Chain A
Amino acid sequence: MNNSSLEYQQKTLLQGLNWQDWLYAAIMFGGAIFAYDKYAHYMDIYETVFLFGAAALSSYLGWRWKALSKLVLGVGVISLVSISLYNGSQARATQEFLLKFLISSQSAIMWMNVLFVLAMVTYWFALYKRSDFTGKVASALTWSAVLFGFVGLMVRWYESYLIAPDVGHIPISNLYEVFVLFCLITALLYLHYEQKLNTRQLGGFVLLVINAAVGFILWYTFDRQANGIQPLVPALQSYWMKIHVPANFIGYGSFSLAAMVASAYLLSSKGVLTSRLPSLDVLDDLMYKAIAVGFAFFTIATILGAMWAAEAWGGYWSWDPKETWALIVWLNYAAWLHLRMVKGLRGPMLAWWALIGLIVTTFAFLGVNMFLSGLHSYGTL
């Protein structure tokens, strides 16, 4: 009996940890303590909580998803190398060879763009050739893109303080920066499911939406020169930004992922690529999971936004266009989930809906900034 019980006994998360996991967590908290020791007097209580919260969160996520811990360490090491090369002078971004061509914030983000494009092409090639090896290469390219993207953001964060100490801020404050964040979060969500479902066939689809964002970044950089670091307007100078924006982009990223899976679903159900793609059941399930994650985080983000608005704009809800469109997006996915969970609806109809949902989401994210004016005008085109 003991033998058989061992077979089904599920290990808890803590039981399943090995010494590398503990070392990883120690490094996370070591880093947090180091930062706290060095910069505590610049931080308020919320930022202190976020700092240690970030250490706890990255430990937990790294334990749950081992590949992520490698990414976190990689981003940490390369960012530190880059920062040490800057040596306190922003001008070195264009003088130091390694910075100029690889890991200054602008170069790293450019590498991210290039790698995402390559990854997409490779994913599609792998899908076409049914080649497992090519698929693995595509995954590796995507991971590298994410690595460079995060290094780019980290270094940009540091760089903002080099411009002037009062200019320094987390790089999620304008459209350029959040587009990078969007690419990274969407890619990470995808990579998570790729590993979990052990399927690489969806990469080409998801990378489509990521590369649309890459296209935007490139246009924004080269046509608008909007890649510079701008100081924060007073309304954005708040610890709320550090949680509101990432939560929102987990939402946007998940919704985009769901829409891309939906497009794969629709193609497959019409007989296109059916033999190459995962089964409809798997696609349907993935679409649901992505929307569920997105909905949960979008809810949190909207609530955090309301709480922030209560501090910055004088009311938790002002029917500002951004707020109203967030509500519309929320209602849209709430209805989607309702129909699926309560009415048990499945099939192409939900897939179409998820795809159209992306249009609504995009309008809430971009369209509001472009066409409607309001309080939330932090990124304009």
Chain B
Amino acid sequence: MRFAVSLLSVLGIASVVGTVLKQNEPYENYIIKFGQFWFGLFEHLGLYDVYHSGWFLLILLFLVVSTSLCIYRNSPLMLKEWRTFKEHATEKSLKAFSHQETYPASSGLEDLKKQLTHFLTAKGFQYKFRTQADGSELIAAKAGTHQRWGYIFTHVAMVIILFGGLLDGNLPFKVQEMLGYKRIETLDIPESQVPAVSRLSISNPSFRANMTLPEGTSDNVAFVRVRDGYLVQELPFRVALKDFRIEHYATGQPKSFESDLVIIDPDLKEPITKTISVNHPLTYKGIAIYQSDFQDGGTKLNFKVWNLFKPNAEPQALNGAIFQKGVLGEGESALKVEYNDFRKFNIINMSPDGKGKPHNVGPNITYKLRDNRGQAIEYVTYMQPMQIDGRHYFLSGMRETVSDDFKYLRIPVDSDFSLNGFMSFRATMMDATKYPEIADKIAANSLDVKKDPAIKKQFKDSVVQLLNVFAQGGYSHVAQIIEKSVPEKERETVARTYIKMISVAAYEAYNMSLAANHKPLLAASADTETLLRDSLNAFSDMFFYGTPYYLQLEQFEHKEASGLQLTKSPGQKWVYLGSVLLVLGIFAMMYIRERRIWLTIKPDAKQVHFAMASNRKNLDFEKEFNLYREQLRNVIS
């Protein structure tokens, strides 16, 4: 038992390690976290998949063996204790008991026997008579010896549960891998090209595999993830996904994930059609199919592509689909677009303090733009404007590496809640041919400038120049120019003047773009001021967006893929059987109290000796003994 307990302790510690160190992550993550040296050491110890490592399984195996030995050694003893009345106890040994009493008796032997056995029966004891060597009559009684079954049940349960667990574990694969019959595949290649050495046949008795099915497709293989690779599990039937649905609560949180599946099997006269959902799997041919997750199944996308740096506001059309690739631009500067993910619902907590309720902000699309050197920038763009601090913005985030957070470009909506207002404004601000007109309008509104033609010309020139600078790189470019050409003392004043001038120019530019589109002009108000400030900020941030292309998602045709988990687990019934035994055993061990009573009637029937014992002495036993001692006194006297 000491051995078993130390094994259990090692098991406990290993389990803790497995919970603290996140299991089965992509191996790159571990390398980043621990560095090459520790990564190698930990990999060697199997710490990335502790529960399936060789040594962990070995401990489990040892536990099965040692517990079995324990049962083998102790069960006969337990069964003997369960059956025996211990009627061979000698008077001498009974006299040595810590719990005993002697009573004087007056009624005859038969009467005494009757009274005492009646008492024992009333207390739930079974008994047996035996005449001792000296002629005295011994009544040996027992109660609660079923407790002994508790020992057998709990320990057998452990063995059965571990056995079931081992059946469902990957021991067979481990052995085959060690002998070189099987090898995991680590390359991302089409399933059909995976060699036989990395495939598991339909006769594989137990597995836990995953399958991603886009709507309207079917498949007859699943993938088992092992360490940093995978195996292909062949299935004895074909699974087709007709439809995948996510239902939502009124608050936007997901309510259910459902897949309409069709099982196609030559053994079946008709295909089985069934809807599975979380908590409601489908079992066919011993393989249970679970709804596990979902992802995009190749949603079709229609974009408007805006070139942010071109002085016009005519977007190009672009069509694509998730998991496919497209091209933007031409020649050397052409970019490859990789459409990675589309999400129809995004539940985000947008309240400033994070305490408000999360809500759905609508669809978003994640894509990468890769240049011809292979460098990629990742983008996430939301289709609908989001409310931030009471105002609405179109959000598009970019990041250069996966470990970075997205940096967002916030484009304010126009009065129609669309992107067009900003895009027209941006085009005007980019269009150098419009600058004189803008300058004119500003000058016309300024009393000081209007009067003197020389000043007017100088003013206009400086506005045009400033707008040129601004159009090349936004505020930060203006700041650079100031830093270069203005003495340090005057910089602040100059900067303030420039910012003022830019915002006045922006007002004119915005109204010009509105007029060109036959829209009502902006009135001078606090709202307008905020809109202009936001627009100018967005304009400045454009230069840090990493690309001139802004992909505005216009339409989508949603296509989802259901993530299914397929398991075959022959050990499950064993584990359940073991569990039932375990519960029975625990209750038997803890709530059935084994007690034994020996009543010795002396040959002359003038004295009765009462002795009581339990294999576990505790307060309940003391109480019971004291009670019986007094009650027996009444019975006998």
Nearest chain B CB to A230 CB, angstrom units: 7
Taking CB atoms and an 8 Å cut-off, the chain B residues in 356-372 that contact chain A are 357
Q: B290 an interface residue at 8 Å Cβ cutoff?
A: yes
* CA distance in complex: A372, B17 (Å): 12
Q: Which stretch, B252-260, B315-323, B425-433, touches the partner chain A?
A: B252-260
Nearest chain B CB to A240 CB, angstrom units: 8
Q: A231-B253, A335-B5 are in contact. Are A314 and B278 (CB under 8 A)?
A: no
Question: Would you call A319 and B18 a contact (CB within 8 A)?
Answer: yes
Question: Would you call B355 and A231 a contact (CB within 8 A)?
Answer: no
Taking CB atoms and an 8 Å cut-off, the chain A residues in 226-248 that contact chain B are 228, 230-231, 233-235, 237-238
Question: Would you call A234 and B123 a contact (CB within 8 A)?
Answer: no
Question: Would you call A303 and B583 a contact (CB within 8 A)?
Answer: yes
Taking CB atoms and an 8 Å cut-off, the chain A residues in 275-310 that contact chain B are 281-282, 285, 288, 292, 295-296, 299-300, 303, 306-307, 310
Taking CB atoms and an 8 Å cut-off, the chain B residues in 583-628 that contact chain A are 583, 586-587, 589-591, 616, 618-620
* CA distance in complex: A224, B279 (Å): 30
A321 nearest CB neighbor, chain B only = B19
Q: B22 an interface residue at 8 Å Cβ cutoff?
A: yes
Q: B106 an interface residue at 8 Å Cβ cutoff?
A: no
Q: Which stretch, B295-303, B462-470, B473-481, B574-582, touches the partner chain A?
A: B574-582
Query: Which B residues lie within 8 Å of A15 (CB)?
Result: none
Nearest chain A CB to B340 CB, angstrom units: 23
Question: Would you call A314 and B288 a contact (CB within 8 A)?
Answer: yes
Nearest chain B CB to A99 CB, angstrom units: 23
Q: Which of A4, A10, A373 contacts B635 (CB 8 A)?
A: A4
Question: Would you call B278 and A237 a contact (CB within 8 A)?
Answer: yes
CB 8 Å contact bits of B145-171 with A (1 = contact, 0 = none) = 000000000000000000001001000
Question: Would you call A335 and B8 a contact (CB within 8 A)?
Answer: yes
Q: A8-B635, A234-B254 are in contact. Are A281 and B619 (CB under 8 A)?
A: yes
Q: A303-B579, A310-B572, A312-B278 are in contact. Are A166 and B255 (CB under 8 A)?
A: yes
Q: Which of B565, B618, B634 contacts A4 (CB 8 A)?
A: B634
* CA distance in complex: A313, B210 (Å): 12
Question: Would you call A372 and B20 a contact (CB within 8 A)?
Answer: yes
Query: Which B residues lie within 8 Å of A233 (CB)?
Result: 253-254
Q: Which of A5, A300, A328 contacts B118 (CB 8 A)?
A: A5
Q: A315 an interface residue at 8 Å Cβ cutoff?
A: yes
Q: A96 an interface residue at 8 Å Cβ cutoff?
A: no
Q: Which of A5, A285, A312 contacts B619 (CB 8 A)?
A: A285
Question: Would you call A237 and B279 a contact (CB within 8 A)?
Answer: yes
Q: A231-B253, A328-B12, A372-B20 are in contact. Are A316 and B572 (CB under 8 A)?
A: yes
Query: Which B residues lie within 8 Å of A167 (CB)?
Result: 249
Nearest chain A CB to B459 CB, angstrom units: 56
Give the size range of B's interface with the partner.
35 or more
* CA distance in complex: A7, B118 (Å): 12
Query: Which A residues lie within 8 Å of B253 (CB)?
Result: 230-231, 233
* CA distance in complex: A164, B569 (Å): 39
Query: Which B residues lie within 8 Å of A324 (CB)?
Result: 15-16, 18-19
Q: A285-B618, A303-B579, A368-B19 are in contact. Are A314 and B567 (CB under 8 A)?
A: yes
Q: A230-B253, A306-B579, A324-B18 are in contact. Are A238 and B279 (CB under 8 A)?
A: yes
* CA distance in complex: A307, B575 (Å): 10
* CA distance in complex: A166, B255 (Å): 9
Question: Would you call B618 and A288 a contact (CB within 8 A)?
Answer: yes
Q: A5-B122, A282-B619, A311-B281 are in contact. Are A231 and B208 (CB under 8 A)?
A: no
Q: A327 an interface residue at 8 Å Cβ cutoff?
A: yes
Q: A166-B249, A281-B619, A314-B290 are in contact. Are A328 and B355 (CB under 8 A)?
A: no
* CA distance in complex: A314, B278 (Å): 9
Question: Would you call B569 and A316 a contact (CB within 8 A)?
Answer: yes
Q: B268 an interface residue at 8 Å Cβ cutoff?
A: no
B566 nearest CB neighbor, chain A only = A314
Query: Which B residues lie within 8 Å of A373 (CB)?
Result: 22
Question: Would you call A341 and B15 a contact (CB within 8 A)?
Answer: no
Query: Which A residues lie within 8 Å of B251 (CB)?
Result: 231
Question: Would you call B277 and A234 a contact (CB within 8 A)?
Answer: yes
Query: Which A residues lie within 8 Å of B312 (CB)?
Result: none
Question: Would you call B249 and A164 a contact (CB within 8 A)?
Answer: yes
Q: A161 an interface residue at 8 Å Cβ cutoff?
A: no
Nearest chain A CB to B21 CB, angstrom units: 10
Q: Which of A164, A303, A331 contacts B8 (CB 8 A)?
A: A331
Question: Would you call A311 and B279 a contact (CB within 8 A)?
Answer: yes
Question: Would you call A8 and B256 a contact (CB within 8 A)?
Answer: no
Question: Would you call A314 and B281 a contact (CB within 8 A)?
Answer: yes
Q: B220 an interface residue at 8 Å Cβ cutoff?
A: no
Question: Would you call B355 and A225 a contact (CB within 8 A)?
Answer: yes
Q: Which of A314, A328, A337, A342 contacts B292 (CB 8 A)?
A: A314
Nearest chain A CB to B270 CB, angstrom units: 26
Question: Would you call B618 and A8 a contact (CB within 8 A)?
Answer: no
Query: Which A residues lie within 8 Å of B587 (CB)?
Result: 296
Query: Which A residues lie within 8 Å of B350 (CB)?
Result: none
Q: A18 an interface residue at 8 Å Cβ cutoff?
A: no
B50 nearest CB neighbor, chain A only = A319
Question: Would you call A319 and B572 a contact (CB within 8 A)?
Answer: no
Question: Would you call A231 and B122 a contact (CB within 8 A)?
Answer: no
Question: Would you call A164 and B290 a contact (CB within 8 A)?
Answer: no
CB 8 Å contact bits of B272-288 with A (1 = contact, 0 = none) = 00000111110000001
Q: A285-B618, A331-B8 are in contact. Are A292 and B590 (CB under 8 A)?
A: yes
Q: A166-B255, A234-B257, A335-B5 are in contact. Are A300 and B583 (CB under 8 A)?
A: yes
Question: Would you call A341 and B8 a contact (CB within 8 A)?
Answer: no
* CA distance in complex: A131, B230 (Å): 70
Question: Would you call A331 and B635 a contact (CB within 8 A)?
Answer: no
Question: Would you call B586 and A296 a contact (CB within 8 A)?
Answer: yes
Q: B51 an interface residue at 8 Å Cβ cutoff?
A: yes
* CA distance in complex: A231, B634 (Å): 64
Nearest chain A CB to B628 CB, angstrom units: 8
Q: B100 an interface residue at 8 Å Cβ cutoff?
A: no
Q: A325 an interface residue at 8 Å Cβ cutoff?
A: yes
Question: Would you call A164 and B279 a contact (CB within 8 A)?
Answer: no
Query: Which A residues lie within 8 Å of B22 (CB)?
Result: 373
Q: Can you name 22 A-B pairs with beta carbons within 8 Å?
A: A1-B111, A5-B115, A5-B118, A8-B123, A164-B249, A166-B249, A166-B255, A231-B253, A233-B253, A233-B254, A282-B619, A285-B618, A295-B590, A310-B572, A311-B281, A315-B208, A316-B572, A316-B575, A317-B575, A324-B19, A331-B12, A337-B590
Given contacts A8-B123, A314-B565, A341-B616, 18 further A-B contacts (CB under 8 A): A5-B119, A7-B634, A224-B355, A231-B253, A282-B619, A296-B590, A299-B586, A314-B208, A314-B281, A314-B288, A314-B292, A315-B208, A316-B569, A316-B575, A321-B19, A324-B18, A328-B16, A342-B1
